[in-house]
Every structure is written in structure tokens, then in C-alpha cells.
Amino acid sequence: MEKSDQALLLQLAPTNYKLRRLYQEHVELEDQLAQFERFPPLTTRASLEQRALKKRKLRGMDAIMGILNEHRAELGSLQ
């Protein structure tokens, strides 16, 4: 995430519940995935879980970026 995106996210999160929830989930998923990096999955089940977490994280980031882009579009239409 670019610094400008992160700055906007931190600006909007206190007043945007959905954005705040998505970002909190993103941070939690990063923590869970970091555990997999420290201890690579030894079983097929763990590998599938890791893949599912990565997909969830990506979907969440897509949703976050969508909200940020909507906000930017609203700002652009007001000017």
C-alpha cells in the first residue's frame, strides 16, 4: 500500500466503520500469515489454510482500495 493510501486510510478509519473493520482484519491476517512464514506448513491442510488466508487478505485489500477510490472520486466531483 502506498503512503498516500495509508494516510487516507488512517484519516478515514475513525469515521468509517467498514474501512476500520477491513483494516483490522487485514492486520490480523498479516499476523497469521507471518506465523506461516516462520514455520512453513508441513501438511496439506496447513498449506490450504495458508492459501485461504492469502485470498482473504487480498479480497480485503481490494475492498479497502475500493473504499479509498470511492472517497477520492467523491472529492474529485466536489471540486
Per-residue pLDDT tens digits of the chain, which is 79 residues long: 789 899 999 999 999 999 999 999 999 999 999 998 888 778 999 999 999 999 999 999 999 999 999 999 988 877 6
pTM assigned to the model: 0.85
From residue 3, give the alpha-carbon distance in Å to each of 10, 27, 36, 56, 78: 10, 16, 26, 22, 24
CA-wise closest residue to 19 among 65, 56, 75: 65
Number of domains in the chain: 1
Domain hosting residue 52, numbered range: 3-78
CA-wise closest residue to 50 among 69, 35, 70, 60: 35
